[in-house]
Amino acid sequence: MSNENDQWHSRVLETNIGFFGGLTAIAILIGGLVEIVPMYTVSANQPENAELVAPYTPLQLAGRDIYVREGCYNCHSQMVRPMRAETMRYGEWSRAAEYVHDRPFQLGSRRIGPDLQRVGGKYPDGWHYEHMRDPRSTSPGSVMPPYPWLLTATIEPDDVAATMRALDRVGESYSDADITNVAQLLNAEGSAIVAHLSDAGITASADTEIVALIAYLQRLGTDADVAIHGAAALTPEAP
């Protein structure tokens, strides 16, 4: 009676390490091709209209750095997948062009909280202020931690200028004038948000971290139109 372990594959394959290694390499290569080729050939994967997506403004950049520092990506993804349940909940699925200015990207891999890619414009600025101060004040039962220090900590224009310079070096385009005038740009953008907050009865200072974070959160997802429809989305419709 033949030994149960004496199968053809153990004789032919597993005892010939070189041959088996070669077959393994071929299997891995096929797996790689199946993943990589569609990335370049399927047009929906190409970042169409990427050149029309505006870079982050200085205040949005500052807010983005806070988002990274606080580890918001541990609980929030920024990618709406092309499936019905996702698009019904969050809106348009994410297009590649929406990420062209994301260095590093914030796709995230966990969703303890909802996806944030389409959160821009979903809530007024005052909602975000209260939500970051105490998530349970706006969302009863929320497990999101409070971030009260953002209300008082301030952003440093020099730090934002350094971020702009670094991004410029890796291919973003921030002009020297923008970098030199970063303090004014931050203040102008921050003041608009402070005005919205004041309408909601909240007193905030334009240079606080919360204001920068709100600027970033309100930007999220607002590039979908231009990524999908191209230049047509930028020209106002004729009356």
Footprint on this chain of ligand HEC (rule: CB under 6 A): 67, 70, 72, 74-76, 112-114, 116, 119, 122, 135, 139, 142-145, 147, 213, 217
Radius of gyration of the chain from its Cα atoms, rounded to whole angstroms: 24
- Smallest CA-to-CA distance from 150 within 136, 164, 130 is with 130
Looking at the Cβ atoms of 53 and 132, the one nearer to ligand HEC is 132
Nearer to ligand HEC, 134 or 168 (CB): 134
Q: Of 97 and 132, which CB lies nearer to ligand HEC in the complex structure?
A: 132
Q: How many other CB atoms are there within 10 angstroms of residue 211's CB atom?
A: 30
- Rounded CA-CA distance 187/110 in Å is 34
Closest distance of CB 157 from ligand HEC, Å:
21
Closest distance between ligand HEC and the C-beta of residue 79, in Å? 14
State how far the Cα of 60 lies from the Cα of 104, in Å rounded to an integer: 14
Residue 156 token pair? 């440093």
Give residue number: closest CB to ligand HEC. Answer: 113
Nearest to 158 by CA among 181, 189, 192, 175: 181
CA distance 130 to 118: 19
Beta carbon of residue 55, minimum distance to ligand HEC (angstroms, whole number): 20
Q: CB of residue 125 vs ligand HEC: minimum separation in angstroms?
A: 11
CB of 215 to ligand HEC, least distance (A): 12
Token couple for 104: 């590093």
Other Cβ atoms closer than 10 A to 77: 21
In the bound state with ligand HEC, the residue whose beta carbon lies nearer, of 38 and 145, is 145
Of residues 120 and 230, the one with the C-beta less far from ligand HEC: 120
Rounded to whole angstroms, how far apart are CA atoms 198 and 192? 10
CB of 5 to ligand HEC, least distance (A): 50
Angstrom distance (rounded) from CA 115 to CA 91: 11
CA dihedral of 15, 19, 20, 24, whole degrees rounded to 10: 170
Of the pair 47, 133, the CB lying nearest ligand HEC is at 133
**Least distance to ligand HEC from the beta carbon of 120, Å?**
10
Nearer to ligand HEC by Cβ, of 110 and 229: the residue is 110
